[in-house]
Amino acid sequence: MKNIKKSIDSSAPKLIEKLGYFINPILLNFKNERNQLLVFYFHGLFDSVKQRDLNHIDPQNNMTVTQFADFIEYFLNHKYKFIRPEDLLPGIGNEQPSAMITFDDGYFNNMLAFDIIAKYGIPAVFFITTKNIKENRSFWWDIIYKFRTKQGISLETIRNEQRYLKSFKYDYIDNYIIQNFGIEAFKPWSDIDRPFSESELKNLTNSPFVSIGNHTHNHAILTNYDKKEMAEELMESNKILFDLTGTLPIGVAYPNGNYNKVVLEATEEAGFKFAFNTKQKSNPLPIEHQNLICLNRFMTNTSKINKFGSFCRLGYEPDLLYAGLKKGILSSNSRK
């Protein structure tokens, strides 16, 4: 009996997900997103599935450049307007549904996206972790992913190790990497996992489609730091980005999406007008001033991509929906 229950618990959310692939695109046709801003965030892009399978990088969104182009075409075909954060300042109305593209971390492979946004003439914001750019340093979660994958460790164990490290400050994480993999582990393996170089970033900002944003200096998960340290992380990164590009960043993406009241205060006090979290929700328009420093973003994951964040865009996730249904059935049974 226990085994049957266990197998229902594991297969039911997958079934809901599969049904969603057919039903969600239909439901989305009836959902009015005219007064909504949908912000999407990406990390690395792959030129092909073959490149992804080299395991030089934690695939995260799993996204190839073709899928990224499909993503843009989908929203253009559905009459969404791609906007930049500055467009929110006068308080845009609800005449057209809006979308925004953001990339986190500062991977060189984001150059693959650059050709596409230039081709379609749409804006994107690139949030840069400045220390990695300065030192041509691989990102710590990729180091864990690529070394552990090579050791034959399961994805579940890798995710647990990454999750464990996210509760620490950057100096602890740096030491952990050195202890476990050696100092050489910070060296990128290829163009797939390396960050932008300083000159590449500088060139990128010459494009009219590109805005540069702050992603802290050390990819600091800000809720692990005190207010003074938060300000240092934001200001150090701003200083480097200003020196490199001649422009102050327009906003910040909170690493790992983590924020609290103090983080929001530190962000405003540092002079930022916009900040982004990773709550899988759209933003109702027009956006009230206080919400500009806490904008929600969808992660575009290719396993959920038909059609692009559709589960969250409809306000549900398969596993949470199943858990909710189960709870509802159990409580109505106990009332009988």
Q: Considering just the CA atoms, what is the radius of gyration of the chain in Å?
A: 21
- Per CB under 5 A, does 193 bind Zn ion? no
Complete DSSP assignment for 68-134: HHHHHHHHHHTTPEE--GGGGTT---SSS-EEEEEEEE-BGGGHHHHHHHHHHT--EEEEE-HHHHH
Q: How far is CA 54 from the centre of its chain?
A: 22
Closest to 222 in 3D by CA, of 248, 257, 249: 257
- Written as six digits, the tokens of 91 are 């308080």
Residue 36 near residue 99, CB atoms below 8 Å: no
Quick one: which segment of 101-109, 194-202, 258-266, 294-302 binds Zn ion (CB under 5 A)?
Answer: 101-109
Give the position of tokens 């190839």. Answer: 64
- Measured from the CB atom, the residue of 97 and 255 that comes closer to Zn ion is 255
Residue 141 vs residues 19, 41, 158: alpha-carbon distances, Å: 33, 17, 9
- Per CB under 5 A, does 33 bind Zn ion? no
- Measured from the CB atom, the residue of 58 and 104 that comes closer to Zn ion is 104
Quick one: which segment of 64-72, 75-83, 100-108, 233-241 binds Zn ion (CB under 5 A)?
Answer: 100-108
x/- mask, Zn ion, residues 54-93, rule CB under 5 A, reads ----------------------------------------
- Measured from the CB atom, the residue of 255 and 309 that comes closer to Zn ion is 255
Among 17, 33, 58, 104, binds Zn ion (CB under 5 A): 104
d(CA 48, CA 32): 34
- Measured from the CB atom, the residue of 36 and 216 that comes closer to Zn ion is 216
Quick one: which segment of 20-28, 80-88, 93-101, 250-258 binds Zn ion (CB under 5 A)?
Answer: 250-258
- Per CB under 5 A, does 105 bind Zn ion? yes
Per-residue DSSP letter, 90: T
Distance in Å, CB of 128 to Zn ion, minimum: 10
- Measured from the CB atom, the residue of 85 and 255 that comes closer to Zn ion is 255
Quick one: which segment of 17-25, 103-111, 166-174, 229-237 binds Zn ion (CB under 5 A)?
Answer: 103-111
Identity of residue 298? F
d(CA 333, CA 335): 5
For Zn ion, the binding residues (CB under 5 A) are 104-105, 255
